[in-house]
Amino acid sequence: MFNRDLKIIAASILRTEANELLQAADRASESIVDAAKLIDNQNGKVMICGLGKSGLIAQKIAATFCSIGRKAVFLHAVDALHGDLGIFEAGDPTIVISKSGSTEEILRLIPILKEFESPLIGIIGNMNSVIINDLDITLDASVDNEADPLGIVPTSSTTLTLSIGDALAGVLMSIKGFNKNDFARYHPSGSLGKRLIFTVENIMQHFSDVAVVNIKDKLRKVVIAMTEKPNGAAIVKCENDEFGLITDGDLRRCLAAGEDIDLLDAEKIMTTNPVSITSNSSVDNALKLMEDRRSQISVLPVVSEENGECLGLIRLHDIYQTRLL
């Protein structure tokens, strides 16, 4: 019973936060677009300012902006009042984050930011606060209920604020036509960045390193070839430069069925016209082709984009190994 009660609490928190996000989607989307356009029209960096939990959310939003190529800096509200305002340049837009809308340090900053001619965007949790009168655009981050059992811990409010920051970033990406290649440029050492930068040709197993057999070779010869060059599959040469594929799984199923590997030809168990990918494709596309299917593929033939000639294989192992480089 005790565990069941805790499960109910966990589910209730998730549902409460989800409901607050759904309500915000209806009321805040237009102002989010307006704020994104305002930011896009400014050449300077975006200053994102908060205190306490709001400061932590501000740091994440700043990091997200940087990851999409929009210069952004987190500015702690207290530090701003003690010398860090030197980072400002005239016209830098500022996003101020405050649940109450009456955070003392934020209120003291507003007149100073106006002296910097900074366009002011607020992500505010209290739409009746006086700060709204000094903002150029207000993003409504108010919530009916915090999600914790006491209803007092910043939960729904911080989740909503973070989501508004994500929505701002998403709109900015769309305005700029930000694509996967742009993302890879800013994430060269991340696993996704590597998958987007590297092409299949960079990490594939080339033809000379792969087991290659003829269509009429007996399975014993196939097993020997795959043992000598253990890449999880063998390429089967057919007529007219066509090819088939035999995987380790094909061999296991054949042996489990009691077939005689001295009598059976490669042609009997190979996959004809297997799923393949061109050598100039991104590693990310290869991974999607292998994993985004009902039955996943662990080995994929690589073909020339010019004439369809088989050039080798790419394995899931090769892709996962790339992530570790």
Residue 189 lies in a domain: no
Among residues 151, 155, 165, which one has the least CA distance to residue 67?
A: 165
pLDDT tens digits for range 101-120: 988 888 888 888 888 889 99
Q: Determine, yes or no, domain membership for 183.
A: no
Residue 187 lies in a domain: no
Residue range 198-224: mean pLDDT, rounded: 92
Residues 27 and 169 in one domain: yes
- 173 lies in the same domain as 273: no
Domain of 200: which CATH number? 3.10.580.10
Name the token pair of 62. Answer: 């700043």
Q: Give Cα 11 to chain centroid, integer Å.
A: 25
Q: pLDDT digit string (tens) for 65-105? A: 998 889 999 989 888 777 677 788 888 999 999 999 988 88
Task: Clarify whether residues 255 and 143 are in a common domain.
Answer: no
- Note the pLDDT of residue 103: 86
In whole angstroms, give the CA distance from residue 47 to residue 112. 13
Residue 12 lies in a domain: yes
The two structure tokens encoding residue 234: 């063998």
The total domain count for the chain is: 2
Position 190 in a domain? no
pLDDT tier, 219 (very low <50, low <70, confident <90, very high otherwise): very high
Q: Are 168 and 201 part of one and the same domain?
A: no
> Which CATH number do you get for residue 136?
3.40.50.10490
pLDDT of residue 324: 41
Question: Do 238 and 276 share a domain, yes or no?
Answer: yes
In this prediction, residue 1 has a pLDDT band, given cuts at 50, 70 and 90, of very low
Q: Which of 148, 178, 208 is the last residue of a domain?
A: 178
Q: What is the pTM of this model?
A: 0.67
Same structural domain, 73 and 151: yes
Instruction: State the Cα–Cα distance between residues 166 and 299, nearest whole angstrom.
Output: 36
Q: Which domain holds residue 91?
A: 2-178
Q: Mean pLDDT over all residues of the chain?
A: 89
Residues 32 and 106 in one domain: yes
Residue 123: beta bridge partners?
97, 139
Closest by Cα among 276, 279, 145, 133 to 199: 279
Strands (E), the chain: 46-50, 72-76, 94-98, 120-124, 137-140, 205-206, 211-214, 233-237, 243-247, 271-272, 277-278, 299-303, 310-315
Does residue 185 lie within any of the structural domains? no
Mean pLDDT of 187-196: 57
- pLDDT (tens digit per residue) in 266-314: 999 999 989 999 998 888 888 888 888 888 888 999 999 888 899 999 9
pLDDT at 325: 41
Q: Residue 313: exposed, middle, or buried by beta-carbon count in 10 A (0-12, 13-18, 19+)?
A: buried
Amino acid at 146: E
